[in-house]
Amino acid sequence: MSDRASLTLISLQFFLSLACSLSFNLTQFDPRATEMVYQGDAAAANGAIEINCVDYRVPHPSQLSRRFPWPFQYHDGHSIVMVEFDTFPDKEWDPSTQHIGININSISSAAYAIWDASSLSGKWANVRIVYNSITKSLSVFWKYDENSSFTGETSLTHSVDLARILPEWAVVGFSAATGDSPEHHTVSSWDFISTLDNKKSDEKHHGLSRVLTIVIVLSLFLLLIVVSLTWWFARKWKDQRWAEEGRHRRGGRDINAGLYIEKGTLPRRFTYQELRAATNRFSNDRRLGQGGSGHVYKGSLSRQSSKTVVAVKRIFAQFENSEKIFINEVKIISRLVHRNLVKFIGWCHERGEFLLVYEYLPNGSLDNFLFGNKGTLDWEVRYRIVLGLVSALHYLHEDAGQCVLHRDIKAANVLLDTDFSTKLGDFGVAKLVDPLLRSQKTGVVGTLGYLAPEYLNEGRASKESDMFSFGVVALEIACGRRTYEDGEFSVSLVRWVWQLFVGGAIIQAADEKLEERFEEKEMECLLIVGLWCTNPNKRERPKAGEVIKVLKNEAPLPELPRNMHDQDFY
């Protein structure tokens, strides 16, 4: 056992001659019964057997075995064959995932199958272990249905000749240990059948002296709760695994310390193999798009009998700040829940890869509709998208517990669901704000054309700088034009709309693709709100809540100063 939380259940532990037939069916365990042998802290309770802890002061983990009438002497040199249910793999000798394995004289599995213990924690498991002495195959079946019948399909099979490995007398039973972390192991019932082929027994009796001819565990039908991982242990397990991987040091400080996120906030952890298979090995035909820090792929995750479509963000491993972006995005997005934010499903950090799993949004990003070839959004949908985006900002700035600055608001980061509802995404450069500070000086990140002047010049990120970026996106939605068009002498979108506003012709900024099919008052409102939010003076920019009231016609349009955009900083 390692010094971390780990578990090995089911090892061969009761007295049985391989030359004997035997069967019994125990549907409950009586603590007063004398035919059962308990060691360690194994004990009968409530009709079941609890095998929970390990005491390092004694040489045995918790275990039980059945007492038999024939003599038996145990020697340390005996061979062992076991089926292990491993909830915490050790990287020195185990596969990288939780698994069920067949071990032969070793703590390393000769064969194994992936077992998702974390998601099945607390459920009753039906396990059947069968050995066929003719085919010399050991098979393991398991299922979590209440219906305990088994089909002929095996979940795990390995070829092994028990007659060559085990002595004449063997021990069959259960053993469990938890390392230094709590787990709950319960054996609910035990059904055991061992039979002999009489013809073979006679032949062996006459021709071969004491050769092992058995069918051990022809039908070992076992109702077993393999694991009941508590919420505390699951949380600690994820933290430990995450902290162990990719351990590097910069300036004597372990940068993976940032991976210890607030307790209870982490979503599901995926394995690299799961996400690789889901995205068809990250093939190009699954690629949804590319950002500044990585590619996004469409994936299909198989969960029991259903499939879930997801978006997998693969951060560039060679990117200088890849680990920082990964840690930052997980820490921030995992604490946020809002209808206008992309739902975060899980993550993976294995083999030097940084992978984030989000809900899949089939309509893609807003910029593909405004500037691409995905078709034209009608006015009602555009206005609803703007309201959804500013609602997301209001949540981040005021209602998320601690203020979150997105720092990269742009049309490409506004995603659209099937009904074109707004989902703000990409929190790779987002930042939590100290509640005692109005703004924070940071390195300049984001996209040119969307950055507020004070942030671009001084590196000071604030709610106001996020609102400036929102104002640019609002103008893009109304005008159907990028903040900067291609061309040497192009005028910035903000300045162009401002010039029309000063000239009293602001409606002329409306997207021509709308063919004048819009509410003129709403168009004017959205254009003025866009100019209001892009005021060069950050102190005169509105808060997200104020914008919501104006867009919903619950507050009057602001009076914009005529010299607001006189300074040429675009």
Angstrom distance (rounded) from CA 174 to CA 40 = 12
What pLDDT score was predicted for residue 362?
Answer: 92
What pLDDT score was predicted for residue 203?
Answer: 54
Cβ(80)–Cβ(110) below 8 Å? no
- Which residues fall within 8 angstroms of residue 320, CB to CB, at 6 or more apart? none
Cβ(396)–Cβ(406) below 8 Å? yes
Angstrom distance (rounded) from CA 290 to CA 313 = 9
What pLDDT score was predicted for residue 488?
Answer: 45
The series of mean pLDDT values per 10 residues for the chain, 570 residues long, is 33 46 72 68 66 47 44 57 86 85 89 84 83 88 72 76 84 76 77 67 50 52 56 53 44 42 64 93 91 86 84 83 84 91 92 91 94 92 98 96 92 95 92 65 74 89 95 97 69 92 96 95 98 95 98 95 70
Query: Is 408 a known active-site residue?
Result: yes
Instruction: Return the CATH fold of 366-551.
Output: Transferase(Phosphotransferase); domain 1 (1.10.510)
Could you write out the three-class secondary structure of 238-300? HHHHHHHCCCCEECCEEHHHHHCCCCCCCCEECCHHHHHHHCCCCCHHHEEEECCCEEEEEEE
Domain pair 16-232 / 252-359, same fold: no
Angstrom distance (rounded) from CA 229 to CA 207 = 52
pLDDT digits (tens, 9 = 90+) for 321-369: 788 888 888 889 988 999 999 999 999 988 888 999 999 999 999 999 9
Burial environment of residue 484 by CB neighbours within 10 A (0 to 12, 13 to 18, 19 or more): middle
pLDDT digits (tens, 9 = 90+) for 482-527: 998 765 446 789 999 999 999 999 999 999 999 999 999 999 999 9
Kind of pairing, strands 344-350 and 268-269? parallel
Angstrom distance (rounded) from CA 149 to CA 147 = 6
What pLDDT score was predicted for residue 94?
Answer: 84
Confirm or deny that 313 is annotated as ligand binding. Answer: yes
The pTM for the full model equals 0.56
Residue in 261, 123, 233 with CA at minimum distance from that of residue 188: 123
| Residues counted in the chain | 570
Cβ(413)–Cβ(424) below 8 Å? yes
Instruction: Exactly one of 86, 367, 408, 466 is catalytic; name it.
Output: 408
What pLDDT score was predicted for residue 20?
Answer: 59
- Which residues fall within 8 angstroms of residue 242, CB to CB, at 6 or more apart? 256, 259, 269, 349
Domain ranges of the chain: 16-232, 252-359, 366-551
Domain 16-232 top-level CATH class? mainly beta
In the CATH scheme, what is the homologous superfamily, with its name and number, of domain 252-359?
Answer: Phosphorylase Kinase; domain 1 (3.30.200.20)
- Which residues fall within 8 angstroms of residue 127, CB to CB, at 6 or more apart? 10, 140, 141, 142, 222, 223, 224, 226
Angstrom distance (rounded) from CA 148 to CA 124 = 10
Give DSSP secondary structure letters for 89-105: --TTTS-SS-EEEEEES
